[in-house]
Structure 1
Amino acid sequence: MMNGSYVPSVIARSTGIFFLSLFLGWNVATAQQVAPPAPYGVTPSERLLAWHELEFYGFIHFTINTFTDKEWGYGDESPSLFNPTNFDADQIVRSMKASGMKAIILTAKHHDGFCLWPTKTTEHNITKSPWKNGKGDVVREVTEACRRHGLKFGVYLSPWDRNNEHYATPHYVNTVFQNQLRELLTNYGPVFEVWFDGANGGDGYYGGKREVRTIDRITYYNLDELWNVIRPIQPMACIFSDLGPEIRWVGNESGVAGEICWPTYTPKGREDINKPGLGQTRYEEGQYGTRDGKYWIPAECDVSIRPGWFYHESENNRVRSVDNLVNLYFQSVGHGASMLLNIPPSRRGTVHPVDSLTLSQMGAYLRDLYAVNYAAKAKVKASSVRGGGAKFSPENVKDNDRYSYWATPDDVTTGEITLAFSKPTTFDVVRMRENIKLGVRSDDWEVWAQVNNQWQLFGKGTSIGASRLVKGPKTTAKAIKIRIAKGKASICLSDIGVFNSPELPVENLPVISRDEQGNVQISGQSKGAVIVYEKNRNTISSASTPYKAPFLMTESGTVSVAFLKSDGTTSRISSTLLGILPQGWKLYKNQNNPSTTQETQSALDGNSKTIWQVEIAPQGTDAFIVDTQKSQAVKGFVYVPDVDHRQGNITHYAAYGSENGSDWQLLQEGEFSNIEANPHPQRVNFPKGKGQLRYFKLIPKRWVGNGTQVRIADILLL
């Protein structure tokens, strides 16, 4: 009995130990199999994770420049100029939110030094303006409006201050600039981003000295100390500049990130021997980032809804269309960067109706785009799954969670994931996201669509990161397949979305052209509508002149056109500024060196794509002279830069007029503000009583880069 009972007991205990060991061993093995992948390379902070989720947000440029019709103020402008007649922060924020934006950054101080809040650091602030009898605070009104409408708030504070007498001294940085930053970060609630411009140093008012001041862009602002001012006050605020340390400038003001755009980045100085600084980086590298860069510094794509950053009445008919904004969205957010769209309020202190309409159309497009995700109900299959269980299942790509993900084993860096639809499905946008908490892992991807039982390539590329939107043709397919063809680490895809974009409003605007004899032709067709136009007016109505045949216009002026519909409404208005017809004009470099016919045509042909590129002596010694062949009244001129090449575009100029080509009168001198970053046509008006001339002379005093060539796309005389 004892032996009989004893043996089974031993067997039972042995068997129990065996199964317990087996169970524990299985658990250990399973735990090892489903352990999360180790991060690859650098990864984003909690601040940056929150920032990545915003994707699309807005800029507000609004200050004295709004009232002086300038892009950059000199610093000598009187605060009395700032006086919006109907400032409405709620209208501004509502208009911007309607586009789908999730946050707003306000230019609290631009380069002219005027502060939009009652600062204690300078007298050059809003308390000295007539607006609200000096009791107003634009920063507070915008922050409170953002809070009411559920948008995050950020601040732009220009390091350069052309008004302050202490600029370029340690006192400015330590006492003025840092304290301005403290005021903004302490008194207005949570801030999601602090924005520092790269434009630094140059000529300015500087307390009445009116001189050029230069700084060491690498050391002057003591950037480490500056970052340390921000951290204790606003721990969740990301810092933007052209070198980071958290968000980088994409390197252009066109709103476009590179097709390859890594969120990792190693900023470099302009010269190999230099460290990076504000305005002292190889900004062209910001468009692409650095594969395996030292830091997680993703790109931000800044762009204005108008040609300029501040409001100019002359640009009311040059507002970007919704299809243009959508294209920029796919080239910024769709490339893993963010889109920062500037909306400049008018002198009234509100967003202009044309801008508001475009913003609402943008919002409607984005809502419709993301309304239905066809991936949500698709059947998912992957070539390999980490651990074989649910934790890293391919199903995770459908749950709209950025941080649950499909993963492969450590040694599997390539693979496929297939989403099969219940029926043929039409789409034209595929979204992919990596779990960026684990770094940027994949290097090459392809998207395939199963059409009529055949796999067709829908799109391919390199970087994925926080978001990749693949925009292709309308495609009807039974399934899609994403293939990761190359990677630095195991696959960690967190999201796949499949969408069918809505139709965009058709922007079929009339086109204006003028021939060499001065005949203006307007072309275009719109069903059920006729073309109407106005000369030297920016508005169109049912009373506007119907276009029937080309008309002669040899003088300068604006032609505005639109389609007039049968119900009395009009399309968007398009306006073109024409200069005085340059018929028979001659162009000279210096007095006795007439250019060739081809060069003359390039600089005077009204075509911004034909460029006169000419060798020039050191700044201020060479000139371009236009002989108009007769004495005439000229109100001003327009310099059109080369939009495709920054080097050689004129930044500072002097303009002269003469009746005889020998005796010259200075008409105007100054700068073409921000032309290096935003090369658009620069209009200069002459003072009243000046401008009767036969000869016009333009002297380039400075230009972009250190080269010996200047670029002129066009010169218009007005």
Structure 2
Amino acid sequence: MRHICKRLTFVTLVLGLTSLSLPVKSQDFTEQNLPNPDNIPSPVFPVPTERQLNWMETEFYGFSHYGPNTFVGTEWGNNRKPNPKEYAPQTIPDCDQWVEAMHSAGMKGAVVICKHHDGFCLWPTESTDFSVLNGAGVSAQVDIPLLFSEACRKRNMKFGVYLSPWDASNEHYATSTYVTDVFLKQITELCTNYGELFEIWFDGANGGQGYYGGNSLVNRTIDKKTYYDWDNLTQRIHEMQPNCVVWGREFRWCGNEDGYSGKTCWSNFDVNSINSETTNNVGAEDGLLFMPSEVDVRTTSKWFWTAEEQAKSAERLFQIYLESVGRNATLIMNCAPNTDGVMPENVCTSLRGLGELLTARLSVDMALDKTVTAEQTRNPGNFAASNMTDGDKNTYWATNDDEITGTFVIDLGEVKTIHYVTLQEYIALGQRVKGFSIETSSDNSSWDPFATGTTIGYKRIMAKNDDTTSYGSGTQARYIRVKITDSKACPLISTVSVY
């Protein structure tokens, strides 16, 4: 079912993005009609790569901000004269404990800060002396990406790295040699010494005040679209790490740091309007790029630890999950270790609580293997309505090419208490659905509205009236009716789950 029965010819045009992302390549497509005995629907472009699909299926993963900023109580550190002795852990940082805390929340991967804007490298790099090798004491000289990656793989979690392109400590920044002699060297070290990466995170902050190897603050700026030679850097990353998605090239920032995606969220993207928070949050129905959204958020109010920080409650973190993973985005959640090199207990408590809520509320699918009937089904081919509840992400229900609406009903077998209905498109052939509604019934005759929405994409989790603020008492029903009210082409639904 995964093959596409069109031969695609790619014509790539280099397009420049503005300040919140990196320049990317757009694709035009020409098609040759080929025999299609299985009646597979034609793709609706743009479509994801296999690398993007695997990344979207990760759904929820951690972020760890740790470094000199942890010890001096600041967020960026570019306005301080570089001093590696500021990085002063008294004991070896317990990366295993960090990752265990994330794992307890149900995260499937984690990304570690390897170099923030201050330029301090948390591994023994050959690119600069401003690294753990010159930190204060033996405990400061351990390789954080190594310990962190080992902790991830111990738990079968994916591992990723964050590397700020901006380096406010380096004398070569904003010169012709920084990218090749420093930045590329750092990328290469991270891509070749720590096993498989699933994501590399490049920040949008590029240039500004710093010491840049001198004795006073100066301001340096660069052309973000051309300075880093993103085309060649991305190609180099994929040569070393073929399964690694690249920030700003293969996925986009959601446009806020508050933990939510738009209720309408297209994975398609328009390169001409990336500088708008609304556009980043919503995407673009007719965008030329497949560039899904990543939502970033903090478990506290800051990225780096400070003593006065209060952790968000487990219920608030669960709401954030619904408003990100449940709105066709991935979620990267920051959990900042403290000066003792451990994750604070208040953060650990909230993370464990989140994991318990996810298990209690979203782990038992009441629709699995239940009967589904559809008013429209694509014919011929294997596109039965039962594909939506068979537990197989690679099968899907579809309508005929001339039908862009459709209705199906799930019978749970008996009256159940329903809190959430989850819909997933078969996005390997492109995102399609533009509108849908969900109704419930106890007798398959009288129907009550449950929720309405616009896009679905990889995953859409719908609560009653799309209200994410409260778990509530639920809805009593045996039947769930879903109507696809609008779609760019024949809708393809791979999964319907009921919780």
Provide Cα deviations, 1:60-119, integer angstroms capped at 9, x if missing partner.
000100000001102524211212233111111111100000000011000000000011
Alignment match, 1:282:
276
How far off its partner does 1:282 sit? 3.1
C-alpha separation between the residues in 2 aligned to 1:81 and 1:138?
16
Alignment match, 1:387:
379
Alignment of 1:4-23 (within 5 A): none
Q: Secondary structure of 1:212's partner?
A: strand
C-alpha separation between the residues in 1 aligned to 2:237 and 2:346?
37
The structure with the largest alpha-carbon Rg is 1
Alignment match, 1:427:
418
Alignment match, 2:341:
349
How far off its partner does 1:410 sit? 1.0
How far off its partner does 1:130 sit? 2.6
C-alpha separation between the residues in 1 aligned to 2:406 and 2:37?
18
- Find the partner of 1:444 among 425, 435, 454: 435
The number of residue pairs the alignment matches comes to 453
- Find the partner of 1:107 among 106, 113, 124: 113
Is the contact made by 1:64 and 1:77 (CA closer than 8 Å) also made in structure 2?
no
Q: Secondary structure of 1:153's partner?
A: strand
C-alpha separation between the residues in 2 aligned to 1:99 and 1:456?
34
- Find the partner of 1:305 among 293, 299, 305: 299
Alignment match, 1:710:
none
| Counterpart residue type for residue 110 of structure 2 | I
C-alpha separation between the residues in 2 aligned to 1:157 and 1:284?
26
Which protein, 1 or 2, shows the higher relative CO under an 8 Å CA cutoff with sep ≥ 6? 2
What fraction of aligned residue pairs are identical, expressed as a percent? 39
Q: Secondary structure of 1:362's partner?
A: helix
How far off its partner does 1:267 sit? 2.2
Provide Cα deviations, 1:171-199, integer angstroms capped at 9, x if missing partner.
11121111111111011110000101001
Alignment of 1:123-522 (within 5 A): 123-132=129-138, 135-208=141-214, 209-240=216-247, 244-268=248-272, 281-315=275-309, 318-387=310-379, 391-451=382-442, 453-472=445-464, 474-499=474-499
CA distance 1:425–1:310, change in 2 (3 Å): same
Alignment match, 1:85:
90
CA distance 1:135–1:61, change in 2 (3 Å): closer
Alignment of 1:574-593 (within 5 A): none
Q: Secondary structure of 2:497's partner?
A: strand
Structure with the higher fraction of residues in strand conformation: 1
Q: Secondary structure of 2:294's partner?
A: strand
How far off its partner does 1:133 sit? 6.0
How far off its partner does 1:34 sit? 4.3
Q: Secondary structure of 1:367's partner?
A: helix
C-alpha separation between the residues in 2 aligned to 1:376 and 1:426?
15
Is the contact made by 1:305 and 1:319 (CA closer than 8 Å) also made in structure 2?
yes
C-alpha separation between the residues in 2 aligned to 1:237 and 1:229?
11
Provide Cα deviations, 1:395-418, integer angstroms capped at 9, x if missing partner.
010122222101111111111010
Q: Secondary structure of 2:331's partner?
A: strand
CA distance 1:131–1:148, change in 2 (3 Å): farther
C-alpha separation between the residues in 2 aligned to 1:93 and 1:309?
17
C-alpha separation between the residues in 1 aligned to 2:369 and 2:394?
20
CA distance 1:52–1:134, change in 2 (3 Å): closer
Provide Cα deviations, 1:123-168, integer angstroms capped at 9, x if missing partner.
1000001342664111111111111111111010001111011111
How far off its partner does 1:284 sit? 3.5
Q: Given the two structures, how large is their TM-score scaled by the length of structure 2? A: 0.88
Q: Secondary structure of 2:304's partner?
A: coil
Provide Cα deviations, 1:213-252, integer angstroms capped at 9, x if missing partner.
1111221112112212211100110011xxx210100000
Provide Cα deviations, 1:251-271, integer angstroms capped at 9, x if missing partner.
0000110110101112236xx
Alignment match, 1:117:
123
Alignment match, 2:14:
none
C-alpha separation between the residues in 2 aligned to 1:442 and 1:34?
22
Is the contact made by 2:265 and 2:328 (CA closer than 8 Å) also made in structure 1?
yes
- Find the partner of 1:37 among 31, 38, 41: 41
Is the contact made by 2:89 and 2:140 (CA closer than 8 Å) also made in structure 1?
no
Q: Given the two structures, how large is their TM-score scaled by the length of structure 1? A: 0.62
Provide Cα deviations, 1:338-393, integer angstroms capped at 9, x if missing partner.
1110000000111001100110011111112233211124321001111266x111
Q: Secondary structure of 1:165's partner?
A: coil
RMSD of Structure 2 on Structure 1 (CA): 1.5
Alignment of 1:624-635 (within 5 A): none
How far off its partner does 1:451 sit? 4.2
Is the contact made by 1:34 and 1:386 (CA closer than 8 Å) also made in structure 2?
no
C-alpha separation between the residues in 2 aligned to 1:493 and 1:103?
26
CA distance 1:33–1:229, change in 2 (3 Å): closer
C-alpha separation between the residues in 2 aligned to 1:400 and 1:199?
42
